[in-house]
Amino acid sequence: MTHENWGQAREQLVARVGKNNYTTWIEPLKLTTLVGGVAQFEVPTTFFGNWVSRNFADHILSQLQQTGVEVQRVEFAVVRDPEPRAEVKRPAPAPTSLARPLTRPVRPVDEELPGAPLDARFTFDTFVVGKPNELAHAAARRVAEGGPVTFNPLFLYGGVGLGKTHLMHAIAHELQARQPQLRVLYLSAEQFMYRFVQALRERQIMDFKEIFRSVDVLMVDDVQFIAGKDSTQEEFFHTFNALVDQNKQIVISADRAPGEIKDMEERIRSRLQCGLVVDLHPTDYELRLGILQTKAEHYRAQYRGLQIANGVLEFLAHRITTNVRVLEGALTRLFAFASLVGREITLDLVQDCLADILRASDRKLTIEEIQRKVAEHYNIRLSDMIGPKRLRNIARPRQVAMYLAKQLTSRSLPEIGRRFGGRDHTTIMHGVRKIEELMATDSQLSDDLQLLKRLLQS
């Protein structure tokens, strides 16, 4: 009888909780006993029991009642005994000997979280704040205070080497210092995928879910990595939602804004946009100089007695505009070299020691590169960029490329015209004007331009 009732109740539950929740959380439940108005279910793990108890107990109870069963309470218990499952028809064994009723939520045992190690140097103390990163820094600070969750997720994005990972580690360090009991899990999206695939292969998907849904703070770095990886995306989405529902803080980073990540499911994209989205802008001269001064001070303490001539740091901040990682690399090399040869760090030494880095950052952007990136972005052929077609979906990207060529290179209009299949300079001028005009009203276009500029200049 109860078997049938549970069967009926389950059918109703699909509609109540949704197919996904049903498959994950309701289907695995086994009704073991129904004694004295208490329906007891067997669950695979403690975490599972807590989860179902917190999220679905009311639904389950009311659906059971609607099928006419006399039941006032539902309980979920882990079966410790390896013997075959207790059937409903069997006389119910005493619950204490067989099962552990879950009255209070129990923390999953302190198994090591599958996170990536944190870099001890990436703290707030060592992070230099300037105009380009002040918003991202302030948001990260707020999250690191560990107060009530005010925005979820925090979504940090920006080009390579601008400090996304540094800020995430800083949040983790700070939270851990303030609240050691907090379960903070930091990992890259790639590691997330790797763990997920491994769990699938080893049929430990429940454990995987259990761990990821039991953390207090989840940080996933470089989330663009899972775009186009369908089942990983799907799992990420469920993990994400489960944690948001529990009001747990999530921090995500990516190399571009949520709306710009190709092959990311729409629903994930929109969830990612729900919290606070902040970008780390490319560094400006002041920030680069600030970072160099901070690091140089650190090195001076390390290589005692080593002098830096005036103007060296300014020169570097001016010349190396790519990213902070390159900037750091340059300084590391300078100090190592100078200490080796026992010389002061002068502009001459910089030229000797950093010739390759300086040459690389001297690199001029070419019109071909612009055409290639724009064609890729709008999904058209590179040959159409140069060819004669006048269709709007080709002509517009072509004008975008013309505009960027004018903006980002020092080429003249006739020169640009030649690179666009021998077009006249007036055609180029018209294209550039057209884009300038449209940009003011078309926000999609101005977003596209911003993204393309960033990609081309990084």
Applying CB under 5 A, the residues found at the interface with Mg ion are 164-165
Q: Where are the alpha helices (DSSP H) in 342-442?
A: 347-353, 355-362, 367-378, 382-386, 392-408, 413-419, 425-441
Give SS3 for 93.
coil
- Rounded to whole angstroms, the Cα distance separating 316 from 324 reads 11
Amino acid at 235: E
For the bound state, the minimum distance from the C-beta of residue 137 to ligand ADP, rounded and expressed in Å, comes to 8
Cβ nearer to ligand ADP, comparing 167 with 413: 167
For the bound state, the minimum distance from the C-beta of residue 358 to ligand ADP, rounded and expressed in Å, comes to 19
- Position closest to Mg ion via CB: 165
For the bound state, the minimum distance from the C-beta of residue 309 to ligand ADP, rounded and expressed in Å, comes to 23
For the bound state, the minimum distance from the C-beta of residue 225 to ligand ADP, rounded and expressed in Å, comes to 13
Paired tokens of 60: 């389950």
- Rounded to whole angstroms, the Cα distance separating 313 from 328 reads 11
For the bound state, the minimum distance from the C-beta of residue 185 to Mg ion, rounded and expressed in Å, comes to 17
- Count of CA atoms in the C-beta half-sphere (13 A) of 241: 13
Instruction: Give Cα 49 distance to the centre of its chain.
Output: 29
For the bound state, the minimum distance from the C-beta of residue 319 to ligand ADP, rounded and expressed in Å, comes to 17
Phi, psi at 75, each rounded to 5°: -130, 150
Max Cα-Cα span within the chain:
92
- Position closest to ligand ADP via CB: 163
For residue 166, the partner it binds in Mg ion, ligand ADP, none, with Cβ less than 5 to 8 A by kind, is ligand ADP
For residue 293, the partner it binds in Mg ion, ligand ADP, none, with Cβ less than 5 to 8 A by kind, is none
Cβ nearer to Mg ion, comparing 33 with 253: 253
For the bound state, the minimum distance from the C-beta of residue 127 to ligand ADP, rounded and expressed in Å, comes to 5
Residue 405: CB partners within 8 Å, gap ≥ 6?
367, 370, 371, 411, 416, 419
For residue 146, the partner it binds in Mg ion, ligand ADP, none, with Cβ less than 5 to 8 A by kind, is none
For residue 160, the partner it binds in Mg ion, ligand ADP, none, with Cβ less than 5 to 8 A by kind, is ligand ADP
Cβ nearer to Mg ion, comparing 122 with 196: 122
Cβ nearer to ligand ADP, comparing 98 with 162: 162
For the bound state, the minimum distance from the C-beta of residue 458 to ligand ADP, rounded and expressed in Å, comes to 10
Cβ nearer to ligand ADP, comparing 5 with 165: 165
Contacts from 79-84 at CB under 8 Å and sequence distance 24+?
Answer: 79/32, 79/42
For residue 328, the partner it binds in Mg ion, ligand ADP, none, with Cβ less than 5 to 8 A by kind, is ligand ADP
For residue 122, the partner it binds in ligand ADP, Mg ion, none, with Cβ less than 5 to 8 A by kind, is ligand ADP
- Confirm if 261 and 225 have CB atoms less than 8 A apart: no
Residue 102: CB partners within 8 Å, gap ≥ 6?
46, 49, 50, 53, 75, 76, 77, 78
Cβ nearer to Mg ion, comparing 168 with 354: 168
For residue 25, the partner it binds in Mg ion, ligand ADP, none, with Cβ less than 5 to 8 A by kind, is none
For residue 163, the partner it binds in Mg ion, ligand ADP, none, with Cβ less than 5 to 8 A by kind, is ligand ADP
Cβ nearer to ligand ADP, comparing 122 with 208: 122
Cβ nearer to Mg ion, comparing 190 with 314: 190
- Rounded to whole angstroms, the Cα distance separating 367 from 423 reads 14
CA-to-CA separations, 166 to 127, 133, 281, 375, 409, in angstroms, rounded: 8, 12, 15, 33, 32
For residue 76, the partner it binds in Mg ion, ligand ADP, none, with Cβ less than 5 to 8 A by kind, is none
Q: Name the CA radius of gyration of the chain, rounded.
A: 29
Cβ nearer to ligand ADP, comparing 102 with 291: 291
- Whose tokens are 């309980």? That residue is 75
Q: Which residues bind ligand ADP (CB under 6 A)?
A: 122, 126-128, 133, 158, 160-166, 291, 324-325, 328
DSSP state of 256: S
- Confirm if 237 and 272 have CB atoms less than 8 A apart: no
For the bound state, the minimum distance from the C-beta of residue 134 to ligand ADP, rounded and expressed in Å, comes to 10
User: If we measure between CA atoms, which residue out of 338, 363, 339, 365 comes closest to residue 352?
Assistant: 338
